[in-house]
Amino acid sequence: MNHTTHPAMNAKTGTVTLVSAGPGDLDLLTLKAAKALARAQIVLLDDLVNPDIATLAPQARIIRVGKRGGCRSTPQAFIERLMVRYARKGHDVVRVKGGDALLFGRAGEELAALHRAGVPFEIINGVSSAFAAAAGLGVSLTHRDHCQGVIFVTAHLRDHSEPDWQALAATRMTLAIYMGMSRIEGLCATLAQTLSATTPAAVVQWAGSAQERRVMGTLGTIAELAQAAGLGSPAIILVGDAIGEAISQAGSLSAFDAHATTLPALRRA
């Protein structure tokens, strides 16, 4: 979708395309994202994006704008200034974010900056990692027998508070928890005050990439299982009866080694 903000834009002003890189596997980029990268002149890359994505942008200058290392507000403002500066120079700028850019990616702030600067922009969607996590487990995020929907929530809040886990649990929907590994034990314990400790749960690290690793269990066991398996960030924590479909299917097929090989985590669960 094109968002042109100024009718009489300087003919030399470029555009910014916000591209969703998906969960890691370059084949999970959309065709539209691949086309935007192929014509890009400047590419601003986030830390968690697969660096091989640069191969899809052979004409572009690649600028890494990761925010690891503790420094926070300055880099975000710097990224916004970079986008605007290069667009004003007439370049086609592609800003790449992992997953879908419109979920937990601070895209709202970057779009607002482009609006303020009068730089035209376009947004290209992608696959968010919770979807890839479910695909890896071979399970749907929703199941009409179990729930009415799914909640995508980040455990990492700006003010260091926590989401109201009990209110979320009370909805009985599937929970897809982003950035929750540093507090998985506590959040599972809190969820278990409302949900049964036997509620199915899974952790998928690096979902949708070649490094993907999975553990399955229950709300009562998943924190320990994930720790025992050495899983850490970045990972998605999935909780809910719909997720249990993978476990029950695995159980019914446990005699088959091939299945255990493609879903090794199920052995541990």
Residues between 212 and 251 that touch its own copies (CB under 8 A): 212, 242, 245, 249
Which of the stretches 110-118, 183-191, 218-226, 227-235 binds its own copies when contact is defined by CB under 8 A?
A: 110-118
Q: Does 128 bind its own copies (CB under 8 A)?
A: yes
Catalytic-residue membership of 179: yes
State yes or no: residue 263 binds its own copies (CB under 8 A). yes
Q: Which of 46, 92, 100, 241 is catalytic?
A: 46
- Which residue in 9, 179, 181, 216 is the catalytic one? 179
Residue 85 binds to its own copies (criterion: CB under 8 A)? no
Residues 67, 206, 232, CA angle at the centre, nearest 5°? 75
- Using the rule CB under 8 A, which residue among 32, 85, 88, 268 binds its own copies? 32
* Subset of residues 154 to 173 that bind its own copies, contact rule: CB under 8 A: 154, 157-158, 163-164, 167-168, 170-171, 173
Distances in Å between the Cα of 237 and the Cα atoms of 57, 168, 183 are 32, 14, 11
With residue 265 as reference, give the H or E element that holds it.
helix 265-268
Instruction: Go through the chain and tell me how many residues it has.
Output: 269
> What does the alpha-carbon distance between residue 105 and residue 156 come to, in Å, rounded to a whole number?
12
Q: Tokens for 94, please give them.
A: 């592609």
If the CB atoms of residues 76 and 227 are measured against its own copies, the closer one turns out to be: 76
39/61 with CB nearer its own copies? 39
Q: State which of residues 49, 141, 188, 265 lies at the interface with its own copies (CB under 8 A).
A: 141
Q: Give the separation between CA 28 and CA 254, rounded to whole angstroms.
A: 30
Decide: 168 and 219 in contact? Cβ < 8 Å.
Answer: no
